[in-house]
Structure 1
Amino acid sequence: MPARRKARKRALDVLYEADLRDRNIAKTLSEYVERLEFPRPEHLPYAVSLVEGVSAHLDRIDELIASYAEGWTIDRMPVVDRNLARIAVYELLYVEDVDDPVAITEAVELAKELSTDDSPRFLNGILGRIADYAH
């Protein structure tokens, strides 16, 4: 698995835990990093930057997801899908060195591994619309 995909998966783990337990993202991230054994993975800094970025821009990210998720409220989305979308939207809007198709494809690929059969198509649609809006 490529390093950035591993980083996205780790970011998903943290965001999923915080979301599921209704906990502070920064505190969840701090505890997650503390639990990691040394040497820590090389991709960890990117994972941390994704979690911190999502946390910093959560209101705007969720607003975009909610407005482009036709027929879905953000609360009704599966927790995995909601947080994959958050990571991808953060990358679409705020990470200059990740191309839009890469951010979308990575979310879709992780959804194939970790979520429902409908999730990849669902995320591809939402993220494609947000990418069109953002650029």
Structure 2
Amino acid sequence: MKRRELREHIFELLFRIEFNSAEEMPEQMRLFFEGLGEVEPKDQEYIEKKYAHIVEKLPEIDRTLDETAEGWKVSRMGKTDLTILRLAVYEMEYDEDVPVGVAVNEAVELSKKFGGDESPIFVNGILGKIGKTGKTE
């Protein structure tokens, strides 16, 4: 799988945590991969590891989002936009393999595909502020 496709699958898996408890997620993960059909073991491992790393960092990621998104708290954000932002902030701040510009661009592309009409502007605006704070350099 290409990176963009892997990222999209990570987004889809992360989105499920908004609707399922932590205890339900192993079963949700099993169902997710079952629904994908044939997946290379290395791709599944990549998706599972990155998902786990993001979930582990969620408190820090959400704190960053709360501090950056003026007038918006994580609890008020649309679930799609929030999930895209969480993935992007993780990539910007914790994934050395993903350049900041790529993380922002890919997040905007995800928001165009899965979000509402205003999602790309919202996502780009928040990530632009995070990128300017120097946290990601």
- TM-score bucket (shorter structure): 0.7 to 0.9
Correspondence 1:32-111 to 2 at 5 A: 32=31, 35-36=34-35, 39-41=38-40, 43-111=43-111
**What letter corresponds to residue 117 of structure 2 in structure 1?**
D
CA separation of 1:72 and 1:28: change in aligned 2, threshold 3 A:
farther
| More moved, 10-19 vs 109-118 | 10-19
Q: Report the Cα offset of residue 132 of structure 1.
A: 2.1
Deviations 1:52-97 (A, max 9, x none): 1111111000000111111111111111110110000010111111
Report the number of matched residues. 133
Gap regions ≥5 residues in structure 1: none
- CA shift digits 1:23-59 (9 cap, x unpaired): 2185256424552566314633332232111111110
Equivalence for 1:131? 131
Give 3-state SS (helix, strand or coil) of 1:97's partner.
Answer: coil
Counterpart CA distance in 2 for 1:98 and 1:34 is 24
Distance (whole Å) between structure 1 residues aligned to residue 13 and residue 45 of structure 2? 13
- Give the TM-score taking structure 2 as reference length: 0.85
Q: For residue 58 of structure 1, what is the amino acid of its counterpart?
A: L
Do the aligned residues in 1 keep the contact of 2:13 with 2:29 (CA within 8 Å)? Answer: no
Question: Which residue of the partner structure matches residue 27 of structure 1?
Answer: 26
- How big is the alpha-carbon RMSD for the aligned residues of Structure 1 and Structure 2? 2.1
Alignment partners' CA distance in 2, 1:28 and 1:95: 26
CA distance in 1, matches of 2:27, 2:14: 8
